Structure 1
Amino acid sequence: MAARPALPPTVYLLGLTIFSLVTAEFMVAGMLPALSEAFSVSLAQVGNLIAFYALGMAVGGPPVTVVLLALRVGHKAALVGLLALYVAAGVMAALAESYPVLAWARVIMGVTSATCIGLCMTVCAGLVAPQVRGRAVSVVLAGLMLSPVAGVPLTTWVQQHFGWRASGWLVVLLALLCTWLAAWRLPASPAGSAPPLREQLRALNNRRLWAAYSTSGLIIGATFAAFSYCAPILIDVVGVKPAQVAPLLALYGVANVLGNMVVGRVADRHTLGAQGWGLALLVLALAALALVSGPQWLSLVCFVAIGLTGVALNPAMVARVMNAAEPGALVNTLHTTVITTGLAFGSWAGGWVIDAGFGLRAPLWVGAGMALLGLLSLCPAWITAAQRPPCADAL
């Protein structure tokens, strides 16, 4: 049997780039109390900083991608330029003296991040042969999986020892490194090498694609309705000490990686099954964590179970989108946009129920409800699959 071809080092660079972008997006979850105190705002308002980042991704990503496609800008030039803008916004966030300035910086970071992630996926697909494209994409997406394992706990630890601004500068330096490496190592992509805008827009006229998008948005929204407030939930509901939050976030990230490995093995052949079982477990874990008031270990088991699903279902989400349409820059960016729209809504809804006086268990119920909607959203696809031969299961 011939050995599988090695992936080019640039694929790992793209994974590192996504790692830096996702770490910056989610780092707020591990430092809610500190930011609340620093800016004299509520926990819900700090949680909204995640939603603002996601909102920037949702609203700004597609228009920026359309403009780049219309101008026929090469993928490398677009990625390096947007990463440079991202670094500038990160500096603005690290220097922020007021909550509105920090919020606007997060929006700008989100706008550039959405297009960068879509471009990373598209550049990756062009770097490797079609027969290893799935493996290469999984390496790039590992950056997303590893950010809860290493990135978020690291920024939480840095904040606890050196302050929240130090965490901000850390992600700026990482993004700056990725910008420099992308400019140096990525092969030049000639202007106009991407499929025309009209062709990419035509690919969006696809019901299966939008059904896949919808489920993806609900999965991530359900997860981050709870995860956005995990620090106060762990401290005030579960009863752990503040110093234990960073290790528990690392454990949650390890669960993400393990779940991703399992889902990645079955996603291509059993896409709907992976999403269905994952969503069912997510509903049960979120509801159980909201209900449990007994042993601390049982609450922590529920917390880890949430990590095994949610973001870990990403290979199944991507496989379903890739089965529905050719994954060009616009399709990838819109998938990112839909996901982050769900994230923004979930994070906002979790904060709203806290502000409304329903307590810190309420975001868990919001997440359970969104996960249940995600499970129900699979019903039409299941019905269609049941009417087809078994080999058509991966929708």
Structure 2
Amino acid sequence: MRTPAWLLCLTLLTFAIGTDDFVIAGVLPDVAEDLDVSQAAAGQLVTAFSVTYAVAAPVMAVLTARLPRRTVMIAGMLMFAVLNALAGLAPNYPALMACRILAAITASMMTPAAFATAATLSGPERMGRAMGTVATGLTLSLVAGVPVGTWLGGTFGWRSTMAFVVVLSLVVALGLALFMPPLERGPALTLRQRLAPLSGGAVLVTLVAMVPAASGGLMAFVYIAPIAESLSGASPDELAVLIAAIGVAGIAGAALGGRGADRFGPERTVALSLGVQTAATLTLTLLGWLWTGRVPIVLAGAVLACWQIGGWAFNSPIQTRMLRVAGPSGTEALALNTSAMYLGIAVAGMVGGAALSGAGATGVLVASVLFAVLGMLVFALSFRFFPSADPAAAPERVRT
């Protein structure tokens, strides 16, 4: 079945946002030298974007709840383009930091709207598949967007990287204006009515489960360089190939997760995807303990590919579940889910760093397994006591 143009535009939206979030990491030395700051200070541009996004997402979802989603995304991408253009012209570090923070706030109001819109326009029978397609934009940003932006930065200077994001943003805004169909208006709800489902057990327990699950799933990625070096003695070139390969696996995982959510339901797909990822992480741990000598890079890569497939297959079904249990607060619930995920990433960085210092790369993998198992247990409780609505139930209607 042919992918509709509006769905491709939403996928490109997440691609642009994901690229902007992480591409600074690829041009840190250039930014640091040009703005006369340390690389550690330049690295805070990535941290500031991620933290701001996590904090702002639920706030912006509430503030824009009454606004037409099509307008929010088009205007948001135009503002995103302007802010990245200003970032490319920034004369100093404080100005660049301010642009990054404002860009993160702008991005935080668009991604939940994009996923909710995909769910609405696709219909309940293809909801997971549509959101899985949108999620591939985030994965593709790591595989293609960041490398392209890094190459541009290395060839023409880091400011050209910002120009790349500007072009992407303008293309998305134009595509949405041309191809996004009219959307049915949702019910006019008060702020109290809109927030009420967010205080229910179904949403809260799912958010609690999301933090350790995200930590366990992403800890190995945060520290993939020392893990690959410890297990297989991977060189920088081999590491680059390895990251690209597991990125492709992540794209496949995002698509499989969407299809699984539609066919088997979000709960079963979440359980399966987390199970695959946890099993792969445990396998890496056992290889680190039991394998004599270096683990062949091909074997380590194959296990990491399975790990990445499970991790990205998790994204779409958990968002499908959120839309079902949150009712008219679907977009706000997706925003909170994003915040919980980013909190999990922060925990992964801190705990993984402590594990790496205390027990090496294998310690990181052990910590990752423990967090993943904890997430699976809390999700199991959530599914047991707060099952989602019937699959035929329509998702939140998104305002025009």
Q: Normalising to structure 1: TM-score of the pair?
A: 0.78
User: Among 134, 141, 150, which residue is 1:140 paired with?
Assistant: 134
1:318 aligns with 2:322: no
Change (3 A) 1:236 1:385: closer
Asked if the contact 1:231/1:245 (under 8 Å) is kept, the reply is yes
Change (3 A) 1:378 1:87: same
Report percent identity of matched pairs: 26
Change (3 A) 1:144 1:88: same
Change (3 A) 1:189 1:195: farther
1:110 aligns with 2:104: yes
**Alpha-carbon distance between aligned partners in 2 of 1:36 and 1:286, rounded to the nearest angstrom:** 36
User: Among 51, 54, 58, which residue is 1:58 paired with?
Assistant: 54
Q: Tell me by how many angstroms 1:86 deviates.
A: 1.8
**Alpha-carbon distance between aligned partners in 2 of 1:62 and 1:386, rounded to the nearest angstrom:** 26
**Alpha-carbon distance between aligned partners in 1 of 2:220 and 2:25, rounded to the nearest angstrom:** 10
Count of aligned pairs between the two proteins? 381
1:170 aligns with 2:193: no
* 1:120 corresponding residue in structure 2: 114
* 1:334 corresponding residue in structure 2: 336
Structure 1 stretches of 5 or more lacking a match?
A: none
**Alpha-carbon distance between aligned partners in 2 of 1:15 and 1:253, rounded to the nearest angstrom:** 16
Asked if the contact 2:232/2:300 (under 8 Å) is kept, the reply is yes
Change (3 A) 1:382 1:75: closer
User: Among 375, 379, 382, which residue is 2:380 paired with?
Assistant: 382
**Alpha-carbon distance between aligned partners in 2 of 1:48 and 1:225, rounded to the nearest angstrom:** 19
* 2:308 corresponding residue in structure 1: 307
User: Among 19, 22, 26, which residue is 1:23 paired with?
Assistant: 19
Q: Which amino acid aligns with 2:19?
A: T
**Alpha-carbon distance between aligned partners in 2 of 1:82 and 1:107, rounded to the nearest angstrom:** 14
Asked if the contact 1:289/1:302 (under 8 Å) is kept, the reply is no
SS in 1 for 2:316: helix
Asked if the contact 1:26/1:50 (under 8 Å) is kept, the reply is yes
Q: Which amino acid aligns with 1:155?
A: G
**Alpha-carbon distance between aligned partners in 2 of 1:381 and 1:349, rounded to the nearest angstrom:** 21
* 1:76 corresponding residue in structure 2: 70
* 1:280 corresponding residue in structure 2: 278
Q: Which amino acid aligns with 2:340?
A: V
**Alpha-carbon distance between aligned partners in 2 of 1:353 and 1:20, rounded to the nearest angstrom:** 33
Q: Tell me by how many angstroms 1:339 deviates.
A: 1.6
Asked if the contact 1:95/1:165 (under 8 Å) is kept, the reply is yes
Q: Which amino acid aligns with 1:334?
A: L
1:249 aligns with 2:243: yes
Asked if the contact 1:218/1:373 (under 8 Å) is kept, the reply is yes
**Alpha-carbon distance between aligned partners in 1 of 2:43 and 2:228, rounded to the nearest angstrom:** 15
Asked if the contact 1:255/1:305 (under 8 Å) is kept, the reply is yes
Q: Tell me by how many angstroms 1:198 deviates.
A: 3.2
**Alpha-carbon distance between aligned partners in 1 of 2:288 and 2:157, rounded to the nearest angstrom:** 31
User: Among 5, 8, 23, which residue is 1:9 paired with?
Assistant: 5
* 1:41 corresponding residue in structure 2: 38
Match runs of 1:174-253 below 5 Å = 174-187=168-181, 196-228=190-222, 230=224, 240=234, 242=236, 246-253=240-247
**Alpha-carbon distance between aligned partners in 1 of 2:288 and 2:38, rounded to the nearest angstrom:** 25
Change (3 A) 1:322 1:78: closer
Please tell me the root mean square deviation across aligned C-alpha atoms, in Å.
4.0
**Alpha-carbon distance between aligned partners in 2 of 1:245 and 1:273, rounded to the nearest angstrom:** 30
Q: Normalising to structure 2: TM-score of the pair?
A: 0.77
Change (3 A) 1:233 1:388: closer
Change (3 A) 1:187 1:286: same
**Alpha-carbon distance between aligned partners in 2 of 1:40 and 1:286, rounded to the nearest angstrom:** 38
Change (3 A) 1:289 1:94: farther
**Alpha-carbon distance between aligned partners in 1 of 2:95 and 2:223, rounded to the nearest angstrom:** 22
Q: Which amino acid aligns with 1:16?
A: L
Structure 2 stretches of 5 or more lacking a match?
A: 391-400
* 2:269 corresponding residue in structure 1: 271
* 1:87 corresponding residue in structure 2: 81
Asked if the contact 1:87/1:172 (under 8 Å) is kept, the reply is yes
Q: Which amino acid aligns with 1:271?
A: T
SS in 2 for 1:309: helix
SS in 1 for 2:111: helix
**Alpha-carbon distance between aligned partners in 2 of 1:329 and 1:283, rounded to the nearest angstrom:** 32
Q: Tell me by how many angstroms 1:323 deviates.
A: 4.4
Change (3 A) 1:359 1:299: farther
